[in-house]
Amino acid sequence: MPRFMTLIRINEQDRADWESDPEFDQRMGALFQQITQAGVMLETATLTPTAEGTRVTWHGGKVGHTDGPFTETKEVIGGYAVLQCKDHAEALEWTRRFLQAHSVKWNVEAEVRQIADQPAQ
């Protein structure tokens, strides 16, 4: 079965304004239980803020790095999930359900892409 990477994009400046939603943990817990029981979820995690990250670049034959925060970037990857689904449509459905578990006051975006499987060497 194909695997899909779901990249969760957020605006870190908005994150500070997110109000605590007491039912959020319940909704997310129920969804994670369903997705795990369905055998779809392979891995998921929230990422630390960009202030704790480093970007490594390769330009003109030289490696460089920049420590966060990355203030010039409006949207950043705040988390990810690796799903194993029968097809792209199923991956989109689980991602839709994930986004709907969030508060209506939050702005969250997800990018769903199939992982290109490489033949064994």
Domain membership flag for residue 79: yes
CATH no. for residue 101?
3.30.70.1060
Domain membership flag for residue 94: yes
Domain membership flag for residue 55: yes
pLDDT reading at 55 higher than 70:
yes
pLDDT per residue as tens digits for the range 72-118: 777 889 999 999 999 999 999 999 999 999 888 888 999 999 999 86
What is the pLDDT, as a whole number, of residue 30?
Answer: 95
DSSP assigned state of 52: G
- Number of domains forming the structure of the chain: 1
C-alpha to C-alpha distances, 31 to 60, 99, 101, nearest whole angstrom: 46, 11, 8
pLDDT per residue as tens digits for the range 5-36: 999 998 887 766 666 677 888 999 999 999 99
DSSP assigned state of 50: G
- How far apart are the C-alpha atoms of 27 and 29, rounded to whole Å? 5
What is the pLDDT, as a whole number, of residue 74?
Answer: 76
